[in-house]
Amino acid sequence: MSAALALLDTPERVACALPDLRRRLLERLREPASAAELAREFGLPRQKLNYHLRVLEGQHLVELVELRPRRGFTERVLRTVAGALVVDPGVLGATAPGDADRHAADHLVRTAGAMVRDVGRMVAHADSAGTRLLTFTLETEVRFATPGEVHDFSEALARAVADVVAGFDSPGGRPFRLVAAGHPAPRPDQEAPDVPAHR
pLDDT, position 195: 52
pLDDT, position 92: 59
pLDDT, position 191: 56
Beta strands in 53-149 (DSSP E): 62-70, 73-80, 82-87
pLDDT, position 101: 67
pLDDT digits (tens, 9 = 90+) for 51-83: 999 999 998 899 999 998 888 788 899 999 887
CA distances from 110 to 11, 13, 99, 141 (A): 19, 21, 11, 22
Give the residue, 131 or 93, on which the prediction is more confident.
131
Classified as helix, coil or strand, 111 is: helix
| pLDDT exceeds 50 at position 153 | yes
Other CB atoms within 10 A of residue 61 CB? 23
Pairwise CA distance, residues 114 & 103, whole Å: 17
For residue 34, what are the β-bridge partners?
77
**CA-based radius of gyration for the chain:** 23
Section 37-50 average pLDDT: 92
Q: Is the pTM of this model over 0.75?
A: no
Q: Read out DSSP for 33-55?
A: EEHHHHHHHHTS-HHHHHHHHHH
Pairwise CA distance, residues 11 & 87, whole Å: 9
